Structure 1
């Protein structure tokens, strides 16, 4: 086994887990990292994910438990500081399958392994939980190992062992990401070669602590004028959703690109999404949920939701009953008069929720001091019930109707063209040939000539 100076102390490991929890607390549940698993042993069959499917933490937990639960295992955990699927597609290897790629050792290990599994899109939180999950499943503490000292370790195949290898990612100090990734691939190849020399069966996992972005983006202000490709700019930092926990479980989630409010007559907008609120006064239960956002500027925004059974649809629906805006001991309530509802197990999403144009929020109170108050929520999503999957929104019910303006324009244009075609065909069908003709054998018309 490992020497004492090589073994991670409990304090170091707890600090490591704390860093992982800090990353998880950022709430980037939609950000993904890849995970590659291969083994020299014949593992239980694991079904690969459906194309485009983001693998949740629960599925990873079930897969690792089914793989590692029976019998002792030697697990090699290669944790890179940052890793994204784009690293493979750009630099070749498992995904790119380039001959000159940098992941040659990794690809060879995957192809020659007895069992393998590739998760291209794994929830970032799930990847961060992998070390703790492996420790709990194997029942052993991780051993931080340097590849140069691995050959001197005495490994007992009768006991479970968790070897942890930390791999760097390119930063401003490195000349090339390709060189760093190639060096990491050589480290993986060296470790696997040592394990082969020791005649040790192992299961290896390669993933990242957080995603990386290797595709550079061009600032809109730096783009030259003229024609350009239509594309949405990539956002570097995704703001974490607001989550209210009750009894250790998340029961309310809210996210918005902008939470704009206007308290002045000249429509000066304040974006509350840039501020961090406290959730004092929030509550949730099986029928009612209240999310209270208390901002440092003294503004309070309250979302009241409820759910009940509608016999016509034979299912529970939740509605956003009201949004209450309070400032300087003055308050006004906006009711969700139309369109703010969704099945109880879904979330509600809308690109624009406002109180002044195509309003989904209608003023419910009359107060002369608040007649000019307005709300404008951009890319708004909320869920107050059915958050069984933790810090992830459920399937979203969007406010956009099926018959949008573009669809109506297309239908009307098509109907107009069909009417013109039908009218033209009917006019052509009404054309008939003459049934009477002049007799050419009859007397001709004579015109007398005068001198």
Structure 2
């Protein structure tokens, strides 16, 4: 919905969530500027309407044309209106607001714009659209590097700040991740205000998040169950493909790619998949016996020059009577340092693909990726919802997937053991019942009484 600044702005988003249509294919877009009267003439979108790419551009154009020359795009990995509902502290019995800096920026800005329902395909290509509108190549910055910039208010500048969102508890809960992203947003805005640079800021996400309710609140009694978990489609972006002679030779897909060294972590999902992918796979090779997928990311903030290599082999085993492919090792190269992870249990028939919910070097995830040396313990490599195929690739679709989850999962084992105990108890009880016997002798109370002679 259209603009308005004030303390009630985040509450307005929640009201729109209650009144508008719901879906897993929409993300919010929030914009604000240091210059006033930019979006006052914009008519509000109809209730429940999901804006497309051209419609989003028409709403943002007044701020880009009439507003300041400096445009800052805060692009989060995942975000939904429900994030504001659950983690925004709108209700008194909820936890602390995870969007303090964002709310303060919206309240203090002369102009602001709120679009709660935008097609996530449109926001995924928003950076390229802004580049064409602003006329400047995007410059990726963070709170540390932005301090070294010398921005000119008269020269068009497009700054991009990536804010990773985690819906997994592997590293941190979603609320803490959103709060950390909000702190990054606050630091970047503080630097711009400190330098006296007028700007227009936009916050959105590449895809919708999957919000899980953390506590019971007033919305728990809402008839529409706004906070119910949603099943977002798995293939939110196409797989990465390495082509030979115009045909795909290797396919890779993951819902999340995370690389880290020590306390520094980098989210590489958007750089690997989708329209905004910047990774290069030109150094990859594949033939009928081996396949090497080399992902060259270039410079990654906080780490350096990052390159990840997947080494796969195709071998025939007489016992099974058919060839199998295995992922033997994964190498990470950062600048001059290289780390090797030995891979265990990643294999499938050569005509199949391999899929697993988690392929990670984290101990709690099963350590499928095992560091080859003690010096590699500080390195982190994590793939969520991982799928790969290095042989027999036909088109951009994976072959039948050999899943890492075995048939006898922990839940099945628990059910089998519980059933076995119940059967043993029942068998023991039946054995006791069938072993009961009637007494062969009984006392006869009607028999002759005993006579005891008396002597005087």
How would you bin the TM-score normalised by the shorter chain? Answer: 0.3 to 0.5
TM-score of the pair, normalised by structure 2: 0.46
Report the structure number with the largest CA radius of gyration.
1
